[in-house]
């Protein structure tokens, strides 16, 4: 990792909008699925995954069988995690409300779950059962009645789905699963096919084709977000353990060669110690080929004058994950303005949140924590306003409403009030 003084540090942000060719290809896939439906899904499965998918839907027997392919310790841990995730997200639920007013009118806000949600789960090495829980449980807690999962076969040439993914889906209460991946899966969720009923919203991560497809169908359906590479910022002082910090930086760096990992500290000693630890731990890490690139090319230790300055810089970075390893982490919390998830103290390394504690691991990347939030129950509900004016209320405010409408030269608006005032005042 490079070491820079605070004054020299700037965070590079990049959004991958894909090449013109990738965009063109995605639009072509979307159009083909839109017009040819299931036939197109089968064609692409053969073309991209070398898989014959006569049965697009994964059967109940296949899901049942998956349970025998995962070990008991995994299932126990998965269930404990699911319970924690459920408990945390239950606290995000909100009620519809209404406000009764003295003049007999009533204003309200109705909160309802989305009817049907699609969840994309990548195949291959990026098939994470934890992501299934993190995406499905908030939707379930929100009250979404239909959650459908799409995921490509686990290995090329074989139509089978990763059993850990199927078990996670079943534990989260998903029973509708299709073996479809890529941009074509997004098209199926957005437009529907003979087999797949279209959804209202698509959530879940994917490769660049999936991301571009989601961007393209946004508006036809809602989407969760377009995620960039995962990132972490660790704020630490000289009370922090360099061994922990190095391990936590590597836990992030092993995801992706593009993952930015940043330590911000006023302690030169700590910086040096972390560098040494990092080299040692990296050498024996299974995914060292990835982590070596991300730490070398996207790894930074920023040296600051004070902890306050460290927090200020961290807020500018607006990280997806922020660990605070200082003498008094809670003293710093009020100053943290931009971060997806905040991990306080030495016993809260980021994997606690990735897998287990309960808060969501789908978080705003690429500095978008300045304006975005972790995936949450609100993402799977929608609100409607309710307005009921009494005759008294309309008579009292009608003239003012007409004044505003006429200022905007919308006479039709004014007349929709006026026709009522006239009739009521004339007593007819």
Residues 99-118 touching a second copy, rule: CB under 8 A, are 99, 105-107, 109-110, 112, 114-115
* Residue 208 interacts with a second copy (CB under 8 A): yes or no: no
Q: Tell me the closest approach of the beta carbon of residue 161 to a second copy, in angstroms.
A: 15
Contact between 140 and a second copy per CB under 8 A:
no
Shortest separation between residue 32's beta carbon and a second copy, angstroms: 18
Residues 289-328 contacting a second copy, CB under 8 A: 291
Looking up tokens 């073996």 gives 179
Of 321, 323, 350, 361, the active-site residue reads 321
Question: Has 321 been labeled as part of a binding site?
Answer: yes
The interface with a second copy within residues 231-250 (CB under 8 A) comprises 241, 243-244, 247-248, 250
Q: Is 330 in the site for a second copy (CB under 8 A)?
A: yes
192 near a second copy (CB under 8 A): no
Report the C-alpha dihedral over residues 128, 134, 136, 142, rounded to 10 degrees: 180
Q: Is 360 in the site for a second copy (CB under 8 A)?
A: yes
**251 part of the interface to a second copy, by CB under 8 A:** yes
- Is 255 marked within a binding site? yes
Alpha-helical runs (H) found in 100-241: 129-142, 163-171, 182-191, 208-217
Determine the interface stretch with a second copy among 59-67, 151-159, 177-185, 337-345 (rule: CB under 8 A).
Answer: 337-345
Binding segment for a second copy among 44-52, 60-68, 181-189, 352-360 (CB under 8 A)?
352-360
Q: Does 132 sit near a second copy (CB under 8 A)?
A: no
Determine if residue 16 is labeled as part of a ligand binding site.
no
DSSP code at position 333: G
* Piece in contact with a second copy (CB under 8 A), picked from 121-129, 148-156, 181-189, 306-314: 121-129
Single residue of 3, 77, 170, 293 touching a second copy by CB under 8 A: 77
Q: Which is nearer to a second copy, 160 or 345 (CB)?
A: 345
Q: Is 361 a catalytic residue?
A: no
- Rounded distance, CA 419 to CA 402, Å? 11
CB 362 within 8 A of CB 77: no
Question: Which residue of 253, 263, 278, 302 would you call a contact of a second copy, by CB under 8 A?
Answer: 253
Distance CA 257, CA 270 (A): 25
Stretch that binds a second copy, among 39-47, 125-133, 171-179, 185-193 (CB under 8 A): 125-133
CB of 41 to a second copy, least distance (A): 23
In the complex, the smallest distance separating the C-beta of residue 400 from a second copy, rounded to whole angstroms, is 4
Ligand-binding site membership of 164 (annotated): no
**Between the CA of residue 387 and those of 114, 188, 191, what are the distances in Å?**
22, 37, 33
Beta carbon of residue 399, minimum distance to a second copy (angstroms, whole number): 8
Q: Comparing C-alpha atoms, which of 413, 389, 379 is closest to residue 221?
A: 379
Please check if 354 is assigned to a binding site: yes
Quick one: which of 42, 140, 164, 179 contacts a second copy (CB under 8 A)? 164
**320 is known as an active-site residue:** yes
Q: Which of 46, 83, 100, 352 binds a second copy (CB under 8 A)?
A: 352
Q: Which of residues 30-69 bind a second copy (CB under 8 A)?
A: none
- The annotation places the binding site for Zn(2+) at 252, 255, 354, 413
- Please give the positions annotated as active site: 320-321
- The annotation places the binding site at 120, 184, 207, 230, 252, 255, 321, 354, 408, 413
């Amino acid at each position: 990792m490079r070491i820079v003084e605070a004054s020299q540090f700037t965070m590079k942000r990049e959004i991958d909008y894909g090449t013109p060719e990738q965009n063109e290809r995605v639009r072509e896939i979307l159009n083909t699925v839109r017009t040819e439906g299931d036939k197109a899904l089968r064609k692409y499965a053969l073309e991209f995954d070398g898989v014959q998918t006569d049965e697009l839907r994964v059967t109940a027997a296949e899901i049942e069988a998956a349970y025998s392919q995962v070990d008991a310790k995994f299932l126990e841990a998965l269930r404990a995690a699911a319970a924690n995730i459920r408990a945390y997200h239950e606290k995000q639920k909100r009620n519809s409300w209404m406000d009764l007013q003295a003049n007999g009118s009533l204003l309200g806000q109705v909160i309802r779950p989305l009817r049907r949600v699609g969840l994309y789960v990548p195949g291959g090495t990026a098939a994470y059962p934890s992501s299934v829980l993190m995406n499905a449980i908030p939707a379930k807690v929100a009250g979404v009645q239909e959650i459908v999962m799409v995921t490509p076969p686990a290995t090329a040439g074989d139509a089978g789905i990763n059993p850990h993914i199927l078990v996670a889906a079943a534990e989260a209460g998903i029973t509708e699963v299709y073996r479809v991946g890529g941009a074509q899966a997004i098209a199926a969720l957005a437009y529907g096919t003979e087999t797949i009923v279209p959804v209202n919203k698509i959530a879940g991560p994917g490769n660049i084709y999936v991301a571009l497809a989601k961007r393209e169908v946004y508006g036809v359906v809602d989407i969760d977000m377009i995620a960039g590479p995962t990132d972490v910022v660790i704020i630490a002082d000289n009370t922090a353990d360099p061994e922990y910090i190095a391990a936590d930086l590597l836990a992030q760096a092993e995801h992706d060669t593009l993952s930015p990992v940043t330590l911000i500290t006023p302690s030169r000693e700590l910086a040096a110690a972390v560098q040494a630890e990092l080299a040692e731990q990296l050498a024996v890490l299974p995914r060292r080929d990835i982590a070596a690139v991300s730490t070398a090319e996207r790894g930074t230790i920023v040296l600051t004058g004070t902890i306050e300055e460290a927090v200020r810089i961290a807020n500018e970075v607006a990280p997806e994950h922020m660990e605070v390893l200082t003498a008094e982490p809670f003293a710093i919390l009020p100053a943290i303005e931009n971060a997806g998830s905040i991990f306080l103290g030495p016993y809260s390394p980021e994997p606690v949140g990735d897998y287990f504690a309960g808060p969501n691991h789908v978080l705003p990347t690429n500095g978008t924590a300045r304006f975005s939030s972790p995936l949450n129950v609100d993402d799977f509900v929608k609100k409607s306003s309710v307005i009921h004016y009494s005759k008294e209320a309309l008579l009292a405010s009608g003239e003012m409403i007409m004044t505003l409408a006429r200022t905007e030269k919308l006479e039709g608006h004014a007349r929709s009030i006026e026709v009522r005032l006239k009739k009521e005042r004339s007593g007819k």
